[in-house]
Chains A and B, each alone.
Chain A
Amino acid sequence: MTAPTRKLKVATTSLAGCFGCHMSFLDIDERLFTLLEHIEFDRSPLTDIKHCSPDCDIGIIEGGLCNAENVHVLREFRKNCKILIAIGACAINGGLPAQRNHLPLTTILEEVYHTSPGLANGMIPNDPELPLPLNKVHPIHEVVKVDYFIPGCPPSGDAIWKVLTDLLAGREPTLEHGLMHYD
């Protein structure tokens, strides 16, 4: 990789994810220093910047869409990032949260807040600050255009490094055997 004339702005977020993909991202270890010669972080849990700059180059999305706020955040990323990358099983196919999709949402809320043992007089939370859950959990490519995908639960640090370095070098990202995993 040759040093770019300016650093690329990279934004990251976790929607309906567990931050496992972010932890795996940190597993690129000391290669982070090499990466930081080429990129700077914009909105990300790593910087605590709350909103994307309008000129982000790469947005990395972990997690699928399980509530209305997830959709707003995803749209902010799509609007402000030239390239959007879905990282991990949940962003790509909904993952574990999507395993509720065959159950009606009302049934789930009833069971979690009313009928489970020990929940006498429980109530379904309805504070206006809480984002409303979606009827089904969706992968992000069902709502916005996604340019690249890094599968895995989570993808290994090596897989993430491979895709990012491919992109920085202007190559179409590929994952060969051993780096391509859905589990």
Chain B
Amino acid sequence: MSRTFTIDGKTIPFEEGQTIIQAATRAGVFIPHLCYHPDFKPHGSCKLCTVKVDGRHTASCTMRAMAGMVVESDTAEINAERRALTQMLFVEGNHFCPSCEQSGNCQLQATAYHLGMMSPHYDHFFPNRPVDASHPDILLDFNRCILCSLCVRASRDVDGKNVFALSGRGINTHLIVNARSGLLGDTDFTLADKAAQVCPVGVILKKRKGFAVPIGERKYDKAPISEAAETEDR
């Protein structure tokens, strides 16, 4: 028996237990997302992957696909909501793309391009978030953190090190490092850790590797995020 649902009228097959975004990705339908990563359990926090299922908003990374669902995703209404969420992420941190090593490889930036974000719209917070340069090989620039928790999940579930955590609540939520000093240099974190590879923005950066690929020739300069393969190395 074929089990299917529809996204924007297109028939999507799925296997029992798959989430909407997993089935959509396999069927070649792109749903914008930031905290979702196919290798990890969903976090459901960024809400960029929100779709309407039978008229109700839900995160497509946490909602299991069910036969006969009618899902709306690429609509003007939902994309406007996704754009507003993205704009809030931009004003909440300090996102200065021209001076960021991750520019062109950044999922936040590429998602904003995809959503046609011409301006941040809201007033900027300009928060004070000092960087952590204590580690010999890795720089942590918290200015760009969007609290996706991918490094938290990778360090806990794959590396078995629990180097990162999200601390605080609401607007005060922030990324912390699991060391008495709070510094990355006092942990056993290494460049080989999975958690060093998963940051979708420019927080976890390899030192002494700046601008090896020129701006304009990077991943999302070549193809929009909707066409870039999810499994590619970031």
Give A contacts to B, CB under 8 Å. 86, 89, 92-96, 98-99, 101-102, 136, 138-139, 141-142, 146, 148-151, 153, 173-175, 177-178, 180-183
Contact = CB atoms under 8 A, between A and B. Distances in A.
A39 B224 CA distance: 34
Contact of B97 (A136, A141, A146, A153): A153
Contacts of B120: 92-93, 139
Interface string B81-124: 00000000010001111111001100001001100101111011
The interface size bin for chain B is 20 to 34
B118 A148 contact: yes
Contact of A95 (B98, B104, B116, B128): B98
B127 interface: yes
Contacts of B128: 102
A92 B119 contact: yes
B176 interface: no
A96 B126 contact: no
Contacts of B69: none
A93 B129 CA distance: 17
A96 B99 CA distance: 8
A93 B98 contact: no
A167 B221 CA distance: 26
B104 A180 contact: no
Contacts of B116: 174-175, 180
B118 A96 contact: no
B32 to A, nearest CB: 14
Given A98-B96, A150-B118, 11 more contacts: A89-B98, A93-B120, A94-B124, A94-B126, A142-B124, A151-B119, A153-B98, A180-B116, A182-B112, A182-B113, A183-B98
Contact of A177 (B100, B126, B224): B224
Contacts of B113: 177, 180-182
Contacts of A173: 118
15 contacts: A89-B98, A92-B119, A95-B98, A96-B98, A99-B94, A99-B96, A101-B126, A102-B126, A146-B119, A153-B97, A175-B118, A177-B224, A182-B109, A182-B112, A183-B100
A95 B120 CA distance: 12
B215 interface: yes
A177 B94 CA distance: 24
Contacts, number: 73
Contacts of B127: 102
B119 A149 contact: yes
Contact of B96 (A96, A148, A177): A96
A149 B96 contact: no
B118 A93 contact: no
A98 B98 CA distance: 12
Contacts of A139: 120, 124
Contacts of B97: 89, 153, 182-183
A144 to B, nearest CB: 13
B200 to A, nearest CB: 15
Contact of B99 (A99, A151, A180): A99
Nearest to A92: B119
Contacts of A153: 97-98
A7 B124 CA distance: 37
5 closest A-B pairs by CB: A153-B98, A182-B97, A149-B119, A102-B128, A101-B126
A175 B128 CA distance: 32
B113 to A, nearest CB: 5
Contacts of B112: 182
A74 B224 CA distance: 35
Contacts of B95: 93
B189 to A, nearest CB: 25
Contacts of B123: 142
